[in-house]
Amino acid sequence: MALATPNALGRPRIGLIFSKKNVRRAVDRNRLKRITRESIRHRQHRLPAVDIVLLARRGVQELDNEVVHRQLHGMWRRLEREANKRTHHASAAPTSQR
């Protein structure tokens, strides 16, 4: 699960929450963090300036690396689409004149 909010930095930032309650083994938490950081590093030039918090759900450690990459890729694409939609609607909004 990912939460995002705009920031004023001009680049995306990420916060990772992989609790021991949801991902028991440290090796699994570290693997997921490594995959996530790599994924965002490859997509950072396309992502909007947002702060992203990524929360791990139970059972995510059972997924193989390729599936995790695909899910992250899908999340980044949705985030790009939403940001483009927001930008498009903001620029297309009519301005009131007095």
Number of domains in the chain: 1
CATH for 59: 3.30.230.10
96 has pLDDT over 60: no
How high is the pLDDT of residue 95?
Answer: 57
Residue 47 covered by a domain: yes
Range of the domain at 11: 2-87
89 has pLDDT over 70: no
Residue 92 covered by a domain: no
Question: What's the mean per-residue pLDDT of the chain?
Answer: 87
Residue 39 covered by a domain: yes
The model's pLDDT over 28-73, given as tens digits with 9 standing for 90+, comes to 999 999 999 999 999 888 888 999 999 999 989 999 999 999 999 9
Residue 44 covered by a domain: yes
2 has pLDDT over 60: yes
CA distances to 33, 60, 64, 75, 86 from 81, in Å: 24, 25, 26, 10, 9
Residue 93 covered by a domain: no
- Pick the closest to residue 83 from 51, 49, 53 (CA basis): 49
The conformational region for residue 25 under phi > 0 = left, psi -120 to 50 = alpha, else beta, is beta
Q: For residue 82, name the pLDDT band (cuts at 50, 70, 90).
A: confident
Residue 98 covered by a domain: no
What secondary structure letter does DSSP report for 1? -
Residue 49 covered by a domain: yes
Residue 18 covered by a domain: yes
